[in-house]
Amino acid sequence: MSWLILVLSGALEAVWAAALHRTAQATGRRRIVPALVFLVSVLASTGGLAVALQSIPTGTGYAVWVGVGVVLTSAYAIITKVERATLSRLLLLGGIAAGVVGLKLVA
């Protein structure tokens, strides 16, 4: 159950990163909905990480949390055309995903 919480918390990291980007897009005015999504998702993400780290080693749990967040944030950026889907970027993101799976297998 801790691993599921950890992966979901990592996914919420991607949500708050995307919301933060949306909040910063408008110059000179605030965007309340993205700011609220950011606040709620960052609290839930770090809260889930804290819960998961009660039964998962800290280094492993943090690496998985960050890895899931990085891969999903990058995937979102590629899908929304903020970043280009280059072969090197896709291969390196695949390496991060493989590392996350590997950490799960050895933990």
Please write the tens of the pLDDT for every residue from 77-86.
999 999 999 9
Q: In this predicted structure, what is the pLDDT of residue 27? A: 60
Cα end-to-end distance, the chain, whole Å: 14
CB burial string 52-78: b at 16+ within 10 A, e below = bbeebeeebbebbbebbbbbbbbbbbb
Confidence of residue 72 (pLDDT cuts 50, 70, 90): very high
The pLDDT-based confidence of 26 (bands split at 50, 70, 90) is low
What does pTM read for this prediction? 0.85
